Amino acid sequence: MPKISSENRFQTVITTFEATPGTCQDLLDLLNSAYDEVISKQPGFIAAGLHVNDAQTRIANYSQWEKREDYQAMLRSDEMRKRNRVINELCKSFEPVMYDVARTYG
């Protein structure tokens, strides 16, 4: 379960994927598979969530890592480099961005 708090020192990564209604479900299936089989098993992984807009044109991924280097190591692994090439073919674009939690509400 993601822990969204400005108190923590986790690395937060938000990735947005631009898709089409025709490729959104396939892309979501690949992302779920990557999390189930690879990403969630990597050192430093804490939690993640996948979100799909109702038009099925965007997927947003929120993930948390112990350290920035843990996330970067996962991306550089041979398995994720191979998977990301396939993911890239199913979307118009995707962009991971690292964030610090500035403030939370609720």
- CATH number of the domain at 17, please: 3.30.70.100
What pLDDT score was predicted for residue 6? 80
Element (H, E) at 70: helix 68-76
> Does residue 70 sit within a domain?
yes
Q: How many domains does the chain have?
A: 1
Nearest 5°: the CA angle 72, 91, 81 is: 30
Total-model pTM? 0.90
> Does residue 58 sit within a domain?
yes
What pLDDT score was predicted for residue 33? 97
Per-residue pLDDT of 47-98, as tens digits, reads: 999 999 999 999 999 999 999 999 999 999 999 999 999 999 999 999 999 9
> Does residue 1 sit within a domain?
no
Q: Cα separation of 56 and 76, whole Å?
A: 28
Q: Does residue 103 contact residue 7 with C-beta atoms inside 8 Å? A: no
pLDDT at 15 over 80: yes
> Does residue 17 sit within a domain?
yes
The arithmetic mean of pLDDT across residues 1-25, rounded, is: 88
Range of the domain at 21: 11-99
Structure tokens at 89: 């073919």
> Does residue 104 sit within a domain?
no
What pLDDT score was predicted for residue 34? 97
pLDDT at 29 over 90: yes
What pLDDT score was predicted for residue 4? 78
What pLDDT score was predicted for residue 104? 86
> Does residue 78 sit within a domain?
yes
